[in-house]
Structure 1
């Protein structure tokens, strides 16, 4: 029986982000728990009875189970951001000791900060040190921003370093630059974000399922080992979330690389002449968005479709073709 036949319009609702991030983990974990109950938990398990129960379900009963899972997914969907923050290691004050232990462990995993200046003048050593430096920077932020979890450190490194080489504060600039990205770039960013959120949701749902299963199977003898199945799945999903976060951070970097000048154009600000001027202008702009009283030098308004490049000053002594185009 098709889902659309059970719930009118469900095929339109269960598409995209809601399906992959919320609905699938909820339905799968709910089915796992119900299977244990139908098999006789708590108590000795008889999976033949579970199969007979599933085979005997009518369309109305299937509809109720599906609707219940969908409602749980819909209610939990707005909580996705707090859930990710929890997995990043932003915990309440009463967990401060646990947070400190997590930071100490992450500091050990990071190891000593790679110092490229101390690398011997050897091609192999330089290449190895460069790779170690690159991996360390994409996986760990500066020591003062270290989080107690691997996922938190990858995302903290992204927040602190994306756009940094251009003088842009990623956290304050991101809501303004992302809408300016091209459709292809935005599709990549959104897809990788969905992978990150989906992996976190799977990990949380499987972890909760493991706890519920352990309670149901407490008096079921060796069947208690079944509670380890969702626990192992939660661990794998968390590792997948870390890798998805690395890919997401790469796509965020790409947005800053390709569309930072579109941001200036949207703000009707002139394009800088060189990288140094770009960094200075972007720092002022980031401070302005942080409500720091910084005045911009001036706006530049042009016809739609024309580049917002400040005209180069006239040099009478130089030939017309002697200078480089403005903005290069």
Structure 2
């Protein structure tokens, strides 16, 4: 219930309430009469509350199946149409340029406390980004891709194929932390879309009222704040992905009834074979370990 309210209902309620305010003010048919927006009496307030609640619920239910798509669009997966694909390439070049600047700062040799602070900041910012040749057009996409490309790869596992399987092996505390971070990410993404949609709607209603254009600017500012919040949460979520593999990678082998590796070299070999099996490169594993209770 908490996820439904925070992730789906609240952002939709914000948009529906904003549209209702514009409608009550008559912004779509003439000059806005803002004094008509507040409810006039208890019955009017009740009707307005019911309208916002029902509209938000229906809109939330309608948009819920598109949650993954809503995140992926803000990540920068825009290769479906030629124009957006070209825009993605332009923005990806900008991201790569920034990445190279950060790398130069991280490798800087200048002395002094200030230079050490600059290098430390550059190292920290590079740590939450993927390699330069795998950058996406947006900061949100790069924050999530950093986890998708390195969390399991440090141990020989392919993250994208092993994540759905290892996620089911995590402890209750880790699962709660992951759910909380994911809910916060989805909420921030939906708030960003809600503010953007409300900005576009306000621009259509207030195009002939320059004195009210500040509302559109405020909507864009709030969308930017929500997006920055999504990036911050995405970085935390990627960090949790790394922790999952640190703590539960051997639980994955146990669940698959595979023997534990004796050393680091054997670990990379074992997880490489498991990744090949997940990707369909090989059909099975050589030796199984069913444990003493299954013998």
Normalized against structure 1, the TM-score is what? 0.81
Name which of 80, 97, 102 aligns with 1:108.
97
SS in structure 2 at match of 1:114: helix
Paired residue secondary structure (1:90):
coil
Pairwise CA RMSD of aligned residues? 2.6
Query: Which residue matches 1:80?
Result: 67
Distance 1:247 1:304, change over 3 A: farther
Gaps of 5+ in 1: 1-14, 307-328
Deviations 1:77-133 (A, max 9, x none): 110101111001111232122111111111222234638996659897788646533
CA distance in 1, matches of 2:41, 2:8: 23
1:68 counterpart (34, 55, 76): 55
Structure 1 residue 290 and structure 2 residue 279: aligned?
A: yes
Cα pair 2:39 2:45 within 8 Å, conserved: no
- Mark the CA change 1:57 to 1:116 in structure 2 (over 3 Å): closer, same or farther: closer
Question: What CA distance in whole angstroms lies between the structure 2 residues aligned with 1:201 and 1:221?
Answer: 28
Aligned counterpart in structure 2 of residue 132 of structure 1, from 107, 122, 139: 122
**1:257 and 2:243 are equivalent in the alignment:** no
The aligned counterpart of 1:309 is none
- 1:312 is matched with none
Question: What does residue range 1-328 of structure 1 map to in structure 2 within 5 Å?
Answer: 15-42=1-28, 43-53=30-40, 55-57=42-44, 59=46, 62-91=49-78, 92-94=80-82, 95-112=84-101, 114=103, 129=119, 132-138=122-128, 140-293=129-282, 295-304=284-293
In proportion to residue count, which structure has more helix? 2
1:245 and 1:294 map into 2 onto residues whose CA distance is: 34
Q: Is the CA contact (8 Å cut-off) linking 2:192 and 2:227 kept in structure 1? A: yes
Q: Deviations over 1:141-172 (max 9, x none)?
A: 12332111111111111111111211111100
Q: 1:112 to 1:48 in 2, by over 3 A?
A: closer
| Aligned partners of 1:18 and 1:77 also within 8 Å | no
Distance 1:284 1:204 in 2: 41
Distance 1:294 1:172 in 2: 15
The separation in 2 between residues aligned to 1:116 and 1:58, in whole angstroms, is 57
- Alignment CA distance shift 1:131-1:277 (3 Å): farther
| Consecutive unaligned residues in structure 2, runs of 5 or more | none
- 1:51 is paired with a residue whose SS is coil
In structure 2, what is the Cα distance between the partners aligned to 1:59 and 1:87? 36
Distance 1:128 1:220, change over 3 A: closer
2: CA distance between counterparts of 1:186 and 1:96? 35
C-alpha separation between the residues in 2 aligned to 1:234 and 1:219? Answer: 23
